[in-house]
Amino acid sequence: MIRKFKSSDLATILGIEKEAFPKSPYNRFIFLYYAHIYPDSFLVSLYKDPETGLKKIGGYIIFYPQGHIVSIAVDPAYRRRGIGTELVEEVLKRTKGTARVEVRESNEVAKKFYTQLGFTLQTVIPEYYGDEDALVMVRNRYE
């Protein structure tokens, strides 16, 4: 199940962020900014924990309304269960199949993930991450 971010989600989102991006995690103010400015574009994925039966946050995605994915992360304990795919597919549904994302050149997992979802390389931004180039990957509804 996917729903809009709630302020009560913040602690869980910060934990997922720290695990997913240990070098440069977003802080609480960045998440609150996006929740305020783009409330319909900050989504969380809920899943039913098989052990407890309770719904938990498995990941989140933030995107601009035109489809530019700002950030996506899935709890490392729940990766490879379709949560990331579900989140990106929700963006594609809301943007009629058009989206864009920047990916670290060395991030083979992310490159494969987006390629499997129909994204293609558009361009490279040198030193986007300071020490590394970014690959700009796009998915257009016409491709």
* pLDDT tens-digit map of 49-102: 778 888 899 999 999 999 999 999 999 888 888 999 999 999 999 998 889 999
Q: In this structure, is residue 69 part of a structural domain? A: yes
- pLDDT, average across residues 118-129: 93
Could you tell me what percent of the chain has a pLDDT over 70? 99
pLDDT at residue 142, rounded to an integer = 59
pLDDT at residue 105, rounded to an integer = 94
- Average model confidence (pLDDT) for the chain? 92
Residues 103 and 41 reside in one and the same domain? no
pLDDT at residue 86, rounded to an integer = 96
- pLDDT, average across residues 36-44: 96
Q: In this structure, is residue 131 part of a structural domain? A: yes
Identify the band that residue 120 occupies on the pLDDT scale cut at 50, 70 and 90.
Answer: very high
Q: In this structure, is residue 88 part of a structural domain? A: no
Q: In this structure, is residue 90 part of a structural domain? A: no
pLDDT at residue 143, rounded to an integer = 52
Domain that holds residue 140: 96-143
Residues 101 and 130 reside in one and the same domain? yes
Q: What is the DSSP string of the chain?
A: -EEE--GGGHHHHHHHHHHH-SSS---HHHHHHHHHH-GGGEEEEEEE-TTT--EEEEEEEEE-TTSEEEEEEE-GGGTTSSHHHHHHHHHHHHTTT-EEEEEETT-HHHHHHHHHTT-EEEEEETTTTSSS-EEEEEE-TT-
- Provide the number of structural domains found in the chain: 2
